[in-house]
Amino acid sequence: MTQERFIRLSEQSQAHKPKLARFSDKVAQYFVAIILITAIGTAIYWQQHLPEEAFWITLSVLVATCPCALSLATPTALTCATTRLNRDGIMIKSAHVMETMPNIDCFAFDKTGTLTTGEFAIDKVDIQGNDYSKQEVLAVAAALESHSEHPIAKPFTQHRDFNLAAKKITVQSGLGVCGIVNDQYYKIGKASWLLPPSVHEENKTLMNASCVLVSDNRIIAAFYLVDKIRDDAKTLINNLNVSHQTIMLSGDNQNACERVGKALAISQCFGNLSAADKMAAIKKKQKENITIAMVGDGVNDSPVFGAAHISMAMGCGTDIAKSGADVILLNNKLASINTLIRISIKTKRIVFQNYLWAFGYNAIVLPLAVCGFITPYIAVIGMSVSSILVISNSLRLLKK
């Protein structure tokens, strides 16, 4: 699948992202309508009973019940929360994140570059036959992998021989690379992609290779790479497992996924997945009424981001992944997800407190203003104090 196709698929997925209601705007609209109707009724009543005070009482009603506090309840909290998260290296790109995060039931993780550092090292090279030396297969692999952005391509860089010319390169995102090296057509990538089904059963060891090099439908070499699990991955998964589901959706082979999954105590691990397979897994969870967040870093994670309720990209990830994500972990720390959950829950609580105060204040002051017990200057003070309290409450989100 080409890079352009991934972009189109990502845009298509994002078009179906759930739309969360703008509660604050709707409430403010109804509230203003109620206040205006009340003010008109107040003016009519006092014009008939005490004409000389009708204007001042009506003015007090309008000033005292100004919806400033109500309108500030949500945006001030979200602004403070976003600022606090930015300080911790967490960039929020979509406004719905803070509302949706407290409702997340399941976290889905990519493996390479997300749960692991993505800093691969070649552990073993298994050469098939006697036609190539280890140095030759590494040089051919390096020439092909130099055109790939996948983390698995990086350890081949040190074996690059610039005397080998690579032509007509085709990158199959999430699968591998094809091209001509020294007039010979090669393919390098996932064993499940390059090897026929008969090999899958006959040589399971070969299927566990990180990638294989093939030419003329003949296996030339298999490469086994090792990757380090991120230091904070274990702590994050342990915390999430208390109240959330955790799953792994990876394009790597199943054995590698299960090995990492077992080390981190992840509930379910799915390997050998294409971008379409990952999207299908996400949508399957959603059909079970599960709100899901996806954490990834690669090109093939971008379309999956659009399908998830919340998408998070590692700061070291590809530009396409970061472009399509709702959240970017600029500090590359998985522990930041715990911070995001905690701040989003606190933000939700503070927004509720702000609304409670705004409605409570207006419920008390409106009858008093209508009855003529509040003068305009007292109304100004009350309205100002109400707004200041809402802002001060929101500012608590800036404290660590």
- Which among 88, 105, 110, 227 is annotated as catalytic? 110
Token pair 């209601």 is found at 21
- Partners of residue 108 on adjacent β-strands: 247, 294
Question: How many other C-beta atoms can be found within 10 angstroms of the C-beta atom of residue 216?
Answer: 9
Quote the CA–CA distance of 118 and 210 in Å, as a whole number. 13
Burial of 237 (0-12, 13-18, 19+ CB in 10 A): buried
For residue 10, give the H/E element and its range.
helix 3-14
Say if CB 230 and CB 261 are below 8 A apart: no
Is 227 designated active site? no
Quote the CA–CA distance of 304 and 277 in Å, as a whole number. 9
Say if CB 295 and CB 109 are below 8 A apart: yes
Pairing of strands 292-296, 310-314: parallel
Quote the CA–CA distance of 326 and 244 in Å, as a whole number. 20
Token pair 């609304």 is found at 355
Pairing of strands 90-92, 327-329: antiparallel
Report helix angle 51-64 to 336-370, nearest 10: 170
What are the CA-CA distances from residue 68 to residues 57, 130, 348, 371, 377 (Å)?
20, 79, 19, 22, 16
Tokens of 141: 């692999």
Token pair 């589901």 is found at 245
List active site positions. 110
